[in-house]
Chains A and B, each alone.
Chain A
């Protein structure tokens, strides 16, 4: 059975893979490919954030009664990452390799420590606290967003 943790962690790995491809393209100065990969990465990340902010976090907040705690920190970190996305796009537009790789170095750690908290805590707790029915309802909402 698919769990929230399985699905969402898998999505993290998917985003990581495109991230690495975008970095490699910039490293090799293949700017056309870099644009494609960066575009794909930002799209995948925004979709992932939107799933969390509109479906998963509200469900987590309802199940735990913790509206101002962990999910608020996660939302704040999404904003931090969004500001790095904007800087990535700017460096890409200016074909500035050093600046791009400097932004992605920071983004990588920001993203990974964020993922670690989500995978270790938010997703795992969601699966346990929501119960099988709510988990499948959350998963079907997630699939709807992903399919859109």
Chain B
């Protein structure tokens, strides 16, 4: 058992996670603006420059930024380990990440090979800083928390996604062939299912029982889900390489691919159903939008799996072929803006309000210890009021409601979907910004 480095310190400085949390909705708004600007042209195929810029603005700029901030924050709680020199790490990570994401988005839109090369360097640097800082803290972890194994695998998946992304970006520079579509499919799989999916599942083991006071997830699921997904993604990756290198064994690759995708699907179905079951029997029954986000997330995850298998069936029957592309798009849409977005939004609201309360409370305690008169610290529901949480949820329902028809009928709905998502992200930026300005006012006054 490792004792050196054991720390249960409450939190890194407020600026460490908040710079990531506040930048996230800005990238969300940027994605929405791109959708409004390009309209149905963006959704025409998965390879359009606008589509690539929008998906990367969401997945890197929004999701991964939040995950970077949250992981730096949660390590002492989950692992009993802190990141050494948190401010320096946060600055290095933030600067390289933000400039890297912006450069990549520009590279997609203006197709300049120099920009692709620059984004490879910047994003590579950021992910290495993150993996080094968080990875060493995870390795030092003293905790027995079940989430840790999944988190380590998720960070590994992020590294693989990055390497694949770098190879693809290098292809965009024209210095090698662009490995489409199989390289892109692997990149997508490791990024969405590996990094984002495994991280959400691993965090869920802790936060679902914690926020709604439910029973724990069954042990077999907690122990095996993330390692199995990781192993199956490895198998699926070898299948892709096999297809490429040994094209004569088609039947073998198809069988292995069905096996890997089938089991990953079953594991996600088990996760979604189990989460819904636990929440149904939760002890905490008071009104809370948090639970609705989780219900939407689990429903979307199930629909995403259904669309994925729908596409597999259509592909094998070769009928009705026109459904193939929409089913693929819907599967990814349900996963990204249904499952992941709902969970992230729900978590972000709780984390931000709690962190501000925690830091304000600490300031107040220090004041009192210094013999000064303290003041009343606002609670979470004052920091972000119920009214704004409700409006945020309604804007999410609207945005989700419009993006689904937009995928199927882009000409009619694409720009409308862009507007709905802009409202959603703007509302989020406003709420988070308001919470942070409350913190600043309080801090200045004290």
Contacts and interface: CB of A to CB of B under 8 A. Distances in A.
A103 B383 CA distance: 12
Interface of B: 1, 3, 6-10, 76-78, 80, 142-145, 206, 210-211, 213, 283-287, 350, 354, 357-358, 361, 365, 379-382
A51 to B, nearest CB: 18
A77 interface: yes
Interface in A13-60: 16-17, 19-21, 23-24, 27
Interface of A: 16-17, 19-21, 23-24, 27, 64, 66, 69-70, 73-74, 76-77, 79-80, 83, 98, 101-103, 105-106, 108-110, 112-113, 115-117, 120-121, 124-125, 128-129
Contacts of A128: 1
A108 B354 CA distance: 10
Contact of A66 (B6, B10, B350): B6
Given A66-B6, A109-B210, 20 more contacts: A17-B283, A20-B213, A23-B284, A24-B284, A27-B286, A70-B8, A73-B9, A74-B8, A79-B365, A80-B361, A83-B361, A102-B379, A106-B357, A109-B350, A112-B210, A120-B80, A120-B145, A121-B80, A121-B144, A124-B143
B351 to A, nearest CB: 9
Nearest to B11: A113
Contacts of B8: 69-70, 73-74, 117, 121
Given A109-B380, A120-B144, A77 B10 contact: yes
Nearest to A121: B80
A13 to B, nearest CB: 9
Given A109-B354, A116-B145, A124-B144, A70 B6 contact: yes
Contacts of B206: 116
Contacts of B3: 64, 66
A106 B285 contact: no
Contact of B6 (A69, A103, A106): A69
25 contacts: A17-B283, A20-B213, A20-B283, A23-B286, A66-B3, A69-B6, A70-B8, A73-B9, A74-B8, A76-B10, A77-B10, A80-B365, A103-B379, A106-B354, A106-B380, A108-B211, A109-B354, A115-B210, A116-B145, A116-B210, A121-B6, A121-B8, A121-B80, A121-B142, A124-B143
Pick the 7 closest A-B CB pairs, nearest first.
A120-B143, A20-B283, A102-B381, A112-B210, A102-B379, A120-B145, A121-B80
Contact of A105 (B7, B10, B76, B381): B381
A66 B3 CA distance: 9
B77 A109 contact: no
Nearest to B285: A24
Contacts of A103: 379
Contacts, number: 95
B366 to A, nearest CB: 11
A113 B77 contact: yes
Nearest to A74: B8
A70 B8 CA distance: 5
A83 B379 CA distance: 12
A83 B354 CA distance: 15
Contacts of B9: 73
A76 B10 CA distance: 10
Contacts of A83: 361
B382 A102 contact: yes
B293 to A, nearest CB: 15
Contacts of A115: 210
Nearest to A115: B210
Given A27-B287, A73-B8, A106-B380, A121 B354 contact: no
Interface core residue of B143, B350, B361, B379 (most chain A CB under 10 Å): B379
A115 B207 CA distance: 12
Given A66-B3, A103-B379, A108-B211, A117 B77 contact: yes
A115 B381 CA distance: 22
Contacts of B7: 69-70
B353 to A, nearest CB: 8
B380 A102 contact: yes
Contacts of B285: 20, 24, 27
Nearest to A65: B3
Contacts of A124: 143-144
A104 B380 CA distance: 9
Contacts of A79: 365
Contacts of B143: 117, 120-121, 124
Contacts of A125: 1, 142
Contacts of A24: 284-286
A16 to B, nearest CB: 5
A120 B77 CA distance: 9
A101 to B, nearest CB: 6
